[in-house]
């Protein structure tokens, strides 16, 4: 006998309690983002590879090591989406929405990265996220962060996370900072990892994001961007911190946050927790003013974040169980037709109801008790409503059944 098939490494089934937690995260995010004026978009799970290779940065780990890329039968290179922002920006352009701004977008769905599976991190993982496209002021950044903070609050985990923020400055700030980093890391080039030696030539800011322990030790003494900010960039950062204070969002400044993708500028931020071990980032993002233009559209500023649903699900308390269903049980031969009518009426009235597919009345009642149903509607000589918790029962009419169960 062949061994049973297993899920592909880095994937998993969402069943039972896991599914309930997962749905609760998405539903909470969908509700909160609507309060902030965001509407939901759905983009394809795979895109033209250039959507990601052009935008995420040639030196990013995502592009160099993690993307699921393949040629389809027509010979076109396509990639399973590794993140949500690039696809949203592509959709903005191809749907002709760059002249209808701002666009406030919420998304939820699967992403794919080929990396070593870890606690709360899978090769097929799921994200919620928002993108605010159009505004170029710090207030937009603060509102996006505040929206994420409110979601964490309403999931009951705000007390377990810390918001770290940083600025990556404007183009002039980054040019000056890049030159300072090149000078510093060039003096320690022999000690850099192979990946960071490549980054030194192409994008030295990415060295600050390295996971290599040797790189991290060097980065700890690297110059800070605050010393290289233009007056305008420093003002933007000051306005961001002031707005976060008004929104009541606590934060810590962390000059080492650069984010993992090349399209970020100005604001970078991460909500982190120690409750999940070393892999503690649960919601993170930043500003990406040049991304839409880089993809062939006009200059449209943007700010957004993404959050791993799996990680958030691991932190939340399980939601309250749904109301117990009502079991409809035909008690005599010939009562099946009326039982089905009652079943339809209950569901149409908003009452969760189920019916056993086979077996005599006694066995169906036993199954109803084991299933956790709260009530049973016994259909035979009239209609009786039986409380399966305390065993009491009463005669009822069809018209009174739904109001009684909803009371």
Q: What's the Cα-to-Cα distance from 363 to each of 330, 358, 394, rounded to whole Å?
A: 11, 9, 21
**Biggest alpha carbon distance in the chain?**
92
Domain boundaries, the chain: 17-170+230-315, 326-402
Q: Is the distance from CB of 318 to CB of 148 less than 8 angstroms?
A: no
Confidence of residue 60 (pLDDT cuts 50, 70, 90): low
Q: Are strands 353-355 and 326-330 parallel, antiparallel or unpaired?
A: parallel
Of the chain, the percentage scoring pLDDT greater than 70 comes to 96
Which CATH code for domain 326-402? 3.40.50.800
The arrangement of strands across the sheet holding 77-80 comes to: 46-48, 77-80, 68-71
**pLDDT at site 57:** 65
pLDDT 10s digits, 316-349? 988 877 778 899 988 888 888 998 999 999 999 9
Q: How far apart are CA 311 and CA 7, in angstroms?
A: 20
Q: What is the second-level CATH architecture of the domain 17-170+230-315? A: 2-Layer Sandwich (3.30)
pTM of the model: 0.87
Of the chain, the percentage scoring pLDDT greater than 90 comes to 60
pLDDT 10s digits, 178-222? 899 999 998 888 888 988 888 888 788 888 878 888 888 988 889
pLDDT 10s digits, 92-143? 999 999 999 999 999 999 999 998 877 767 999 999 999 999 999 999 999 9
pLDDT 10s digits, 239-261? 999 999 999 999 999 988 876 55
């Amino acid at each position: 006998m062949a061994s049973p098939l297993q899920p592909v490494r880095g994937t998993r089934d969402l069943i039972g309690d896991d599914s309930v937690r997962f749905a609760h995260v998405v539903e909470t995010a969908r509700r909160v983002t609507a309060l902030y004026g965001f509407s939901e978009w759905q983009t394809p799970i795979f895109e033209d590879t250039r959507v990601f290779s052009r935008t995420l940065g040639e030196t990013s780990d995502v592009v160099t090591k993690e993307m699921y890329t393949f040629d389809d039968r027509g010979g076109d290179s396509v990639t399973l989406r590794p993140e949500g922002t690039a696809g949203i920006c592509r959709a903005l352009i191809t749907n002709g929405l760059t002249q209808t701004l701002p666009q406030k977008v919420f998304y939820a769905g699967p992403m794919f990265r080929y990396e070593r599976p870890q606690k709360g991190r899978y090769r097929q993982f799921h994200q919620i996220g928002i993108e605010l496209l159009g505004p170029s002021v710090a207030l937009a950044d603060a509102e996006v962060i505040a929206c994420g903070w409110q979601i964490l609050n309403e999931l009951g985990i705000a007390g377990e996370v810390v918001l770290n923020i940083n600025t990556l400055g404007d183009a002039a700030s980054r040019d000056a900072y890049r030159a300072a980093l090149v000078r510093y890391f060039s003096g320690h080039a022999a000690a850099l990892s192979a990946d960071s030696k490549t980054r030194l030539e192409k994008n030295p800011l990415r060295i600050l994001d390295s996971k290599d322990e040797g790189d991290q030790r060097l980065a700890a003494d690297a110059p800070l961007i605050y010393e290289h900010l233009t007056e305008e960039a420093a003002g933007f950062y000051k306005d961001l911190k002031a707005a976060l204070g008004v929104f009541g969002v606590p934060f810590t400044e962390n000059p080492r946050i650069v984010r993992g993708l090349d399209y970020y500028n100005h604001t970078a931020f991460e909500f982190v927790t120690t409750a999940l071990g070393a892999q503690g980032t649960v919601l993170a993002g930043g500003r990406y003013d040049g991304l839409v233009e880089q993809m062939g559209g006009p200059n449209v500023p943007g700010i957004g974040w993404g959050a791993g649903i799996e990680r958030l699900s691991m932190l939340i308390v399980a939601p309250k169980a749904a109301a117990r269903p009502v079991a409809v049980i035909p008690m005599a031969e010939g009562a099946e037709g009326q039982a089905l009518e009652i079943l339809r009426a209950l569901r149409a009235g908003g009452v969760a109801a189920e019916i056993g597919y086979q077996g005599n009345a006694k066995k169906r009642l036993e199954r109803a008790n084991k299933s956790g149903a709260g009530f049973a509607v016994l259909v035979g000589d009239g209609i009786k409503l039986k409380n399966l918790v305390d065993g009491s029962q009463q005669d009822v009419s069809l018209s009174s059944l739904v109001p009684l169960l909803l009371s």
